[in-house]
A and B are shown apart, each in its own frame.
Chain A
């Protein structure tokens, strides 16, 4: 490709250089421009930087939830190149399980801090386990039998699983958004840093997400099973020849994605104080976008994509209006894809090499 470019003369080369420059730095400038514009506007209006800082804090905490869901998409795509459309709905089931367990553990608005902490920790573990096992079962029933089939077949079964889980959600809680008890008084101010308020929900989202992402990264990079996952992602046939049980490794990937979706489900329930059968569709769309934006198959990319989308959403909600937010987020996605088809950090898939 390079020699072809060279032989084509200086004009295309210059074009490529310009394109390369835009894709490297232009996008970063574009991403920074959005908050920077409003920061300057605020400064010129004499309002200081408090408002934009609050937007970014809310963006990081919201984005943390998207990041946890996005990791599930990226892990599965990285290993079997399947867009697991049902993943958002697994996350929804996580929220429903969490809400169900509020009653089981007797957690109410009157429960004390210690009881709440212990109860929520137990719920977190149960939620993660439930959605992890559910995700493995989905893989076993709907995707594994189609391993050698054309790519469209598992894609359609993924859509089918999404429908099934949504209908389970409708049967379980009904079709409307359901307000649930605000156990942690989510919007109560916890810290005030130079006028920037940080709520309990913000702290919770980040405090659960960061350790989970670190644990997952350490597992994938440091453990034998993690190495098996990476080997399978690179070349499943070669991995099989090297004695790796590919089916088990793929199941493990689904388990990990499901575990994180369960955690995200609980945080979402505590953070938003409402659950809905359709929340998985919305979250799934955002999280998949985050995964693609960051670079599909790339863990760091999924986290970065999630946080960037969270920030864009919050700034747009606050400055432009909630009704325009999807258009703003997807405009960014289109721009990033056009200038950097591999995502911000770059994809890590067999196709990408």
Chain B
């Protein structure tokens, strides 16, 4: 009940502070004085996404260390921020995310902002950072509306996120038109005739569900329903018992009560095939000992993530990826890192390479933005070779299909999918 007062206080705080921020950037960016540039990272460091965020940070730190803590002649200072709160862990808290973005804007030495992990968080930080001309890269955002108005976007997206009318945002994972198609392709291969979707009503979950719906229909799979779920609901049994499909997709994140959603759907529909997106590709979902779904659901569950397994990188002869896995193991002792570690690494590597590419102008935010969004072409990276297009999207399209083995997401194969028209 006390939370009512908390919400009221947050609302007052938000209302009181959104009129003018102290960016001073006005969209044109600014030049950082001195020889130290700061790169901020903003990720949920509490709750269900903690381990994924820690993997991203480990990857980012490794890339920075390998670059000698420098980009050209400039020293790099790395600051990690938490965009979640104790009351709202596992996902970006909107109030905390706005605070992080403002803190970054107020710091005159800021040159990059790496985050958020959740698309719903980026929805909050992007307009603040864009107004100040600060370049931003997300290691994990997939919501379509952050960069384009294609299927899956809400009305007014993405224009409302770019008040400066220039693109300052890029991401290293494919957007959800690709993931939607990847899930639909997997279902088709598994013989699904009909599908029922639940979505968590977040920017990510609801948008992805629309993409899956479109992709499923285009592949001839009947969509029986796409229902929103309430995070605060004690259970979803009645909703689950109403499902009349042979396949189910839970389009949401673990932190939005998606363990309970899968648990209830799995129990109410003993024969249904279960599919989850990257939002549940974490131990908090896959491992029953960590509060994840029961072990008996594991064989029926498949998950899509935009990263591929080590073996796949080896098969493709991607030496950079192989080196990453070797270096990561040396640095952290983990042979099979969390799927997001490589994205953290690439996020930082892309930021540092963008700074190096502009040479002495690495302290000029506008020059860095232009390099990141306009000139990242044919980039050879740990993820493969890709461009960042004019919207800030990667041209990579491969998705990985994961199953659950011993409580962990385990890479099974690559899904080649193209978005529905």
Contact of A175 among B2, B87, B227, B228 (CB under 8 A): B87
Closest to B236 in A: A322
Contact of A317 among B3, B5, B239 (CB under 8 A): B239
Q: State whether A281 and B263 are in contact (beta carbons under 8 Å apart), knowing that A176-B89, A317-B239 are contacts in the complex.
A: no
A115 CB contacts on chain B under 8 angstroms: none
CB distance from B156 to the nearest CB of A (A): 22
- Name B187-246 residues within 8 Å CB distance of A: 201, 227-230, 232-239, 241-242
Contact of A174 among B1, B6, B47, B242 (CB under 8 A): B47
C-beta contact mask, A165-179 vs B, less than 8 Å → 1, else 0? 011001000111111
Size class of A's contact patch?
A: 35 or more
Closest to B294 in A: A182
Contact assessment for B89 and A274 in the assembled complex, using a CB-CB cutoff below 8 Å: no
Contact assessment for A282 and B90 in the assembled complex, using a CB-CB cutoff below 8 Å: no
Contact assessment for B227 and A322 in the assembled complex, using a CB-CB cutoff below 8 Å: yes
Closest to A273 in B: B263
Contact assessment for A268 and B227 in the assembled complex, using a CB-CB cutoff below 8 Å: no
C-beta contact mask, A189-224 vs B, less than 8 Å → 1, else 0? 000000000000000000000000000000000000
- Name B88-103 residues within 8 Å CB distance of A: 88-90
Q: State whether A160 and B236 are in contact (beta carbons under 8 Å apart), knowing that A273-B263, A318-B241, A318-B242 are contacts in the complex.
A: no
B267 CB contacts on chain A under 8 angstroms: 187
Closest to A180 in B: B291
Contact assessment for A85 and B233 in the assembled complex, using a CB-CB cutoff below 8 Å: no
Contact assessment for B259 and A174 in the assembled complex, using a CB-CB cutoff below 8 Å: no
Question: 25 pairs across A/B with beta carbons < 8 Å?
Answer: A62-B234, A89-B1, A159-B1, A162-B1, A166-B2, A167-B86, A175-B85, A176-B47, A178-B291, A179-B291, A179-B293, A187-B267, A272-B234, A273-B263, A279-B234, A281-B1, A313-B238, A314-B238, A317-B236, A318-B239, A322-B227, A322-B236, A322-B238, A323-B229, A325-B230
Given contacts A88-B1, A175-B86, A323-B201, 6 further A-B contacts (CB under 8 A): A58-B238, A166-B3, A174-B89, A179-B291, A278-B3, A313-B238
Residues of B within 8 A of A (CB): 1-3, 5-6, 46-48, 85-90, 201, 227-230, 232-239, 241-242, 254-255, 257, 259-260, 263-264, 267-268, 284, 288, 291-294
Residues of A within 8 A of B (CB): 54-55, 58, 62, 85-86, 88-89, 158-160, 162-163, 166-167, 170, 174-180, 182, 187, 268, 271-274, 278-279, 281-285, 313-315, 317-319, 321-323, 325-326
